[in-house]
Structure 1
């Protein structure tokens, strides 16, 4: 853009009008975008912002065309939201549906693979909610916005040891993953002061002959081993 083509007042007007349009659209879309931030909502917000940026930053873009695109994109978003409210089938198609990834303390491998959620990320989502052991979870549901909803086992929901005046002690370990998808996580294993020999003995004690048979394993705070075998079978305890 040449300096002779520069129009200070034109840019002020374009920016002010675009700001006002965005403010109005945000009032309509904002609450849903924030409270139900699915992937569709996410890319919709980015696209609206990109169109608005194009309107303000490039004076060679026809202003009415850009504003029309901005408003029409927002109207399409509202239309999709309306359809999703009226039809559960459409909502599942557009926003996907919640997926159970842990059931009765057992990680569901197929669900993790279909949601493309690595074990490490699952552990992180659990830790965010203050849960350091998979076996404490009765159900865990991966929501359409990427958050994890957890229903703890009944034994983990009621009174604490302090409530019942039970003896408490210092945990030996912080629960951590030592086998993930059939592979030993040596960094974690050595980090808690344990060896591969110890792990092998624990596996044999539980009737497991090979690490490849184990989908997930973690050391508990008391030093015991929690195993989750492949093929969504019954977890070995």
Structure 2
């Protein structure tokens, strides 16, 4: 129950070292984007890679070659989807969604808050964490595709070109 023999420990050690090496090589070949947490899709791939590595390490039914193929397949699919999403807007929209404006010119966008399941208190907390003391000091608050809240400060120049891709409606 607590110890199944040296053979199992030896297998875990050898397969673990080799699977880890394979994963590192595949990740280096695929580029930095593979492990970025830019959106929910990227997070899912990262979790799937970790789960696959754990299965390779601990399951005798999964051979190292099968595990390496599974890791390679996940990395290839992530690479292919991100490659397509950079070139095809509809793929990007399908995979990552779009940022959503929750507050605009000091006014909460109630429909957007309900759709995003975000409270006004959470928006206020994001405003405070950006060093603003008033909701009126925020030009906009956006729910990004990675789940974070971005605060665009009100400025004298009123150059808010970073809001070009954000879906919103006036309050």
**TM-score, structure 2 as length reference:** 0.79
What SS does the corresponding residue of 1:150 show, helix, strand or coil? Answer: strand
Tell me: CA distance 1:77–1:102, structure 2 relative to 1, closer, same or farther (3 Å). same
Q: For the pair shown, which has the larger CA radius of gyration, 1 or 2?
A: 1
Judge conservation of contact 1:37–1:145 (CA < 8 Å) in 2. Answer: yes
> Mean alpha-carbon deviation: is it higher for 40-49 or for 60-69?
60-69
Can you list the C-alpha shifts for 1:97-130, whole angstroms capped at 9, x where unaligned? 1111111111111111122212222222222211
Tell me: CA distance 1:151–1:4, structure 2 relative to 1, closer, same or farther (3 Å). closer
- Aligned positions of 1:78-157 closer than 5 A: 78-154=79-155
Name stretches of at least 5 consecutive residues in structure 1 with no aligned partner. 158-231
The answer to whether structure 1 residue 70 and structure 2 residue 80 are counterparts is: no
Distance (Å, rounded) in 2 between the aligned partners of 1:24 and 1:90: 27
The answer to whether structure 1 residue 38 and structure 2 residue 31 are counterparts is: no
Judge conservation of contact 2:34–2:75 (CA < 8 Å) in 1. Answer: no
Judge conservation of contact 2:55–2:62 (CA < 8 Å) in 1. Answer: yes
Tell me: CA distance 1:51–1:123, structure 2 relative to 1, closer, same or farther (3 Å). same
**TM-score, structure 1 as length reference:** 0.59
| Runs of 4+ with >4 A deviation | 33-36
How many positions carry a matched residue from both structures? 159
Can you list the C-alpha shifts for 1:69-101, whole angstroms capped at 9, x where unaligned? 121111111111111011111101110011111
Tell me: CA distance 1:32–1:131, structure 2 relative to 1, closer, same or farther (3 Å). farther
Which structure carries more strand by proportion? 1
Judge conservation of contact 1:11–1:59 (CA < 8 Å) in 2. Answer: no
In the TM superposition, residue 32 of structure 1 has moved relative to its aligned partner by 2.0
In the TM superposition, residue 12 of structure 1 has moved relative to its aligned partner by 2.6
In the TM superposition, residue 3 of structure 1 has moved relative to its aligned partner by 3.4
Give the structure 2 partner of residue 182 of structure 1.
none
Give the structure 2 partner of residue 197 of structure 1.
none
Give the structure 2 partner of residue 27 of structure 1.
28
